[in-house]
Structure 1
Amino acid sequence: GSYRQNRLNLTTLLVQPISAVLAKKFVSLPEDAVQRDKCIPLQMPATGKKIISLNIQSVTTYKTISNVIGYLKGTVFPDRYVIVGSHHNGLNTYGGQEWASSTAIITAFIQALMLKVKRGWRPDRTIVFCSWGGTSFGNIGSYEWAEDLKRVLQRNVVAYVSLNNPVRGNSTLHPVASPSLQQLAAESQSFNCVEKTKCPASNVSSVQIQGDSDYFINHLGVPATQFSYEDIKTSENSSFLSEALFPVHTTKTEELDPSFSLHETIAKLTGQVTLQIANEPVLPFNALDIALEVQNSLKGDKVDIPQLLAVASRLRDAAELFQSDEMRPANDPKERAPIRVRMLNDVLQSLEKSFLVHRAPPGLYRNILYRLDERTSQFSVLLEALEHCKLHQSNETIQTALSEVLNSINSAQVYFKAGLDVFETTLAGKK
């Protein structure tokens, strides 16, 4: 891999997770100063002083990180890649459940595809299967691999399908997708629901997700999706600083999913989405959904900026025109001229690259289409800048964030318009 002396996603500070019980001792008042029947918030006392000594026995070690990569070459668009990513156990001795589920599902998917391959089937686009190493510590395996191949991946990857910790609970299915893939994820979820009358409403969202999709979303602007089973409380939590979580007892697979029905569902959903992206002549991405997501992220009093709203409106108009003038005709087999399909797919796979900002606050995605968590309905970078503005009584941060968001939306609108112009010019020349 590449030599790294400094990396933005690896801190130079030594961070030591501690238990909630120990944290309570650090910040709580002495017992004799608290009324036993009175409930007080957990906070640092206004007065008083504590001297704390922590005996940390961390040992610095060097380990070799290994990735396992395989691929099934496409027949029509072999230079376009759909990446399916899982991960295997790395340096830590805990957390075996997540990599076991991930590995089991991707293995079952590969086995199913090999049965089709033996009968002569091949996908239209190349499917790349990746099992990453070093996930728990800054996603080192995927980061270094993608960094080494960045120029190729920027041009050729059309989507990333994540299998990071797919069964972490058993109460609710939690689908996450880029705005352009939300419709596909929702349709796959509905299609795989056996009892149609009891199917839950689609709850696909674009929230930040943990795992190795990070580089593909934040540095390459690749559309991504992930299906996972979670407990309700877990799904409500933010993924901020997931690496600093204190290790907990890992629930055995047999306890979470004794019949492996949840694993089977994730395998079916992941497989269906992957095959649709790999085989559809026109990529099943929805351009209009991106524009709608942008408009929804600008709703509310906190980010009511007329200039942003105006640019977002123009983006929606351009997306609607693109959807009607180019997407619909291309879905007609009679209109699928090879040059038209290739040009259209090139536009579709690059839709989200316009939304990568240069700098994002710690813990937030550079891809502004993703929100911090389910409770956040607006652009996370703008909300963070507003909080910073209130705290420091300065509007410099908010002006920078507004400029980044404005440039992203404007760039996307220009990209749509340029795509339409290229279509008109090229097709007119062919006539």
Structure 2
Amino acid sequence: RDLLQFPREDDVDIAMEILVQWTSQGLEDVRLVNYSVLLDLPGSSSNTVTLKNSGECFYPSGQQCNRETKTLHNQDLLYSYAAYSAKGTLEGELVDIQYGTVEDLIRIQAITNVTKKIALLKLGQSPLLYKLSLLEDAGFGGVLLYVDPCDLPKTTDLTDKAFMVSLNSGGDPSTPGYASIDGSYRQNRLNLTTLLVQPISAMLAKKLISLPEDTVQQDRCIPLQLPATGKKIISLNIQSVTTYKTVSNVIGYLKGSVFPDRYVIVGSHHNGLNTYGGQEWASSTAIITAFIQALMLKVKRGWRPDRTIVFCSWGGTAFGNIGSYEWAEDLKRVLQRNVVAYVSLHNPVRGNSTLHPVASPSLQQLAAESQSFNCVEKSRCPGSNVSSVQIQGDSDYFINYLGVPVTQFSYEDVKTSENSSFVCEALFPVHTRKTEELDPSFSLHETIAKLTGQVTLQIASEPVLPFNALDIALEVQNSLKGNEVDIPQLLAVASRLRDTAELFQSDEMRPANDPRERAPIRVRMLNDVLQSLEKSFLVHRAPPGLYRNILYRLDERTSQFSVLLEATEHCKLHQSNETLQAALSEVLNSINSAQVYFKAGLDVFETTLAGRK
């Protein structure tokens, strides 16, 4: 509640408030780290969609263009946009491509030429950036993006709300792959796509396809669809403005007493956008601040973690995780060597039906154990359902460029359809669902704080890192089951990885269970192997929106490696298996590299022990 009272002029103001709070609680080393980055912000007037058949002009929310509407919800209208979209005006025929899957595209291209036309696209099912890359390749000129009410929880009515999305895959677009420090070369990248992209409300989507307002019949939701008859010509006007702004991160260190050069990072984010992105930033910041407060009481009584805990509140998250990317690119060499895990607090209470734990394979066991101990409301914490799936937020760089094990706990509403995955890419206005309505007693916040706290403390304080090598090998084997592409070499190398991981687990985890086995040099060597278990699984290149770290699946519906799934789809679209062969080679080399790495770890220990004997 206190956090929501902060006057939020921009990112720096709110970051300063957080810095003061953390310092007042006794955190010794707290820094404000600023980067000047390229943001794409709304223009002075709202983007518009005009139906040429009738001449009607609409704002993204579905309200008709007039001065009265404009002043009523000015901020909401302005922030209903796609950051880093192409700018300008486009007139073209509206083409309904549903979720923009490869099948949808093949179906549409068989009946019409899509060049310079405007796609009506539903958010969900797969990452937005991936779908937009397909549309761009197909030759579309623009995209109207909306969320089908059937894909939202029944408790949520966002029919008349437009939203914001970012088309930025991560970091400052003007310094791709390197940090935005003073003196860095700035590339001229005013938009990140040739498409004019505009998010609209479901209400406007219904108007454009001439549907009656109510499409819910006797508890059965009818998905929206453009009728086959009648050509709709629309004009799309997009006026966002790119400008350099300061994005601020707050970084606080609690130094470890045994391994101060090994970091466990706990990450939340703060929001400089006046209304967009809901109130999840306040939930995120409140939980990390309460955790710091509890830890500093222990520190005053003489306690210290073994490893350093780094607390981070990131800026610029809504625009493509900019603050976390820039800091990680700035400190890349240090982080590659020092970070052992990242614990995410991105949007921890986005619903109130069920706990949704996500962890990379090596941390799944730890996350499941923590869940069974700490859940305040057992009915909302079903058994051990920890999965390794793509998630939103600032863990992105740590997963995909550093290969760091990650875990995150959050509360969600029950998914209403199989298309609900990736709907959370939309940032709706703040007043759509207040945090206090979702969790009036703050018991869900309390559960997330306990789970996050326990996992962080175990990783920071156990002599041997609580990472499970065998779970990685099992996840790899599961990802190859039922694969359309049955390659004997892949299955063979995955089997070797499992055999090596089993040996590693049984022989080398003894120090975790027996203090007599904990010679300092042995523990350090074991931990060095454990902290890099997942680094072998970063492929060089992944399609837009898909993780480079192949240990994470697209969502709960899919069990295969996402790069192989996508490559199989690519074959259908381009009648060539070159992409599939390249993807298979990347996956094969990743699994082989992991097996070689595990075996090298075993060899090192055998040599050390033989020497001691």
Q: What TM-score do you get using the length of structure 1 for normalisation? A: 0.92
Q: Deviations over 1:164-209 (max 9, x none)?
A: 0000010000000000000000000001135879963111000101
**CA 1:397–1:8: 2 relative to 1, 3 Å:** farther
Q: Is the 8 A contact 1:9 1:138 kept in 2?
A: no
Instruction: Give the drift of 1:302.
Output: 1.4
Q: Is the 8 A contact 2:510 2:517 kept in 1?
A: no
CA distance in 2 between counterparts of 1:338 and 1:38 reads 63
SS at match of 1:61: strand
Instruction: Give the drift of 1:60.
Output: 3.4
Q: Deviations over 1:63-87 (max 9, x none)?
A: 2100000010001000000000000
**CA 1:204–1:274: 2 relative to 1, 3 Å:** same
SS at match of 1:234: coil
Instruction: Give the drift of 1:361.
Output: 1.1
Instruction: Give the drift of 1:51.
Output: 2.0
Q: Is the 8 A contact 2:349 2:412 kept in 1?
A: yes
Q: Give % identity.
A: 93
CA distance in 2 between counterparts of 1:39 and 1:260 reads 32
CA distance in 1 between counterparts of 2:429 and 2:418 reads 19
Instruction: Give the drift of 1:312.
Output: 0.5
CA distance in 2 between counterparts of 1:9 and 1:332 reads 57
Q: Is the 8 A contact 1:282 1:331 kept in 2?
A: no
Q: Is the 8 A contact 2:357 2:410 kept in 1?
A: yes
CA distance in 2 between counterparts of 1:34 and 1:194 reads 36
CA distance in 1 between counterparts of 2:228 and 2:303 reads 70
SS at match of 1:96: coil
Greater CA drift, 96-105 or 327-336 = 327-336
Q: Deviations over 1:198-243 (max 9, x none)?
A: 9631110001010000000000000000000000127966664855
Q: Is the 8 A contact 2:354 2:381 kept in 1?
A: no
CA distance in 2 between counterparts of 1:116 and 1:31 reads 57
Q: Which runs of 5+ in 1 are unaligned?
A: none
CA distance in 2 between counterparts of 1:55 and 1:102 reads 35
**CA 1:61–1:411: 2 relative to 1, 3 Å:** same
Identify the residue that residue 129 of structure 1 maps to in structure 2.
Answer: 311
SS at match of 1:236: coil
Identify the residue that residue 238 of structure 1 maps to in structure 2.
Answer: 420
Decide which structure has greater helix share.
1
CA distance in 2 between counterparts of 1:421 and 1:42 reads 59
Identify the residue that residue 419 of structure 1 maps to in structure 2.
Answer: 601
SS at match of 2:309: strand
Greater CA drift, 300-309 or 243-252 = 243-252
**CA 1:196–1:245: 2 relative to 1, 3 Å:** closer
Equivalent in 512, 516, 530 of residue 348 of structure 1 = 530
**CA 1:27–1:219: 2 relative to 1, 3 Å:** farther
Instruction: Give the drift of 1:393.
Output: 1.4
How do residues 72-87 of structure 1 correspond to structure 2 at under 5 angstroms?
Answer: 72-87=254-269
SS at match of 2:516: helix
Instruction: Give the drift of 1:13.
Output: 5.0
Q: Is the 8 A contact 1:125 1:279 kept in 2?
A: yes
Q: Is the 8 A contact 1:69 1:129 kept in 2?
A: yes
Instruction: Give the drift of 1:24.
Output: 4.0
CA distance in 1 between counterparts of 2:483 and 2:345 reads 37
Q: Is the 8 A contact 1:94 1:250 kept in 2?
A: no
Q: Is the 8 A contact 1:237 1:373 kept in 2?
A: no
Count of residues in correspondence between the two structures: 431
CA distance in 2 between counterparts of 1:2 and 1:413 reads 39
**CA 1:421–1:70: 2 relative to 1, 3 Å:** same
Q: Is the 8 A contact 1:127 1:278 kept in 2?
A: yes
CA distance in 2 between counterparts of 1:336 and 1:297 reads 35
Identify the residue that residue 372 of structure 2 maps to in structure 1.
Answer: 190
Decide which structure has greater strand share.
2
Identify the residue that residue 141 of structure 1 maps to in structure 2.
Answer: 323
Identify the residue that residue 245 of structure 2 maps to in structure 1.
Answer: 63
CA distance in 2 between counterparts of 1:137 and 1:293 reads 32
**CA 1:378–1:3: 2 relative to 1, 3 Å:** same
**CA 1:4–1:300: 2 relative to 1, 3 Å:** farther
Greater CA drift, 339-348 or 388-397 = 388-397
Instruction: Find out whether 1:371 has 2:553 as its counterpart.
Output: yes
CA distance in 2 between counterparts of 1:350 and 1:223 reads 9
Instruction: Give the drift of 1:306.
Output: 1.5
Q: What TM-score do you get using the length of structure 2 for normalisation? A: 0.65
CA distance in 1 between counterparts of 2:469 and 2:190 reads 31
SS at match of 1:361: coil
Instruction: Give the drift of 1:386.
Output: 0.6
Instruction: Give the drift of 1:94.
Output: 1.8
SS at match of 1:183: helix
Instruction: Find out whether 1:175 has 2:357 as its counterpart.
Output: yes
CA distance in 2 between counterparts of 1:50 and 1:198 reads 46
SS at match of 1:16: strand
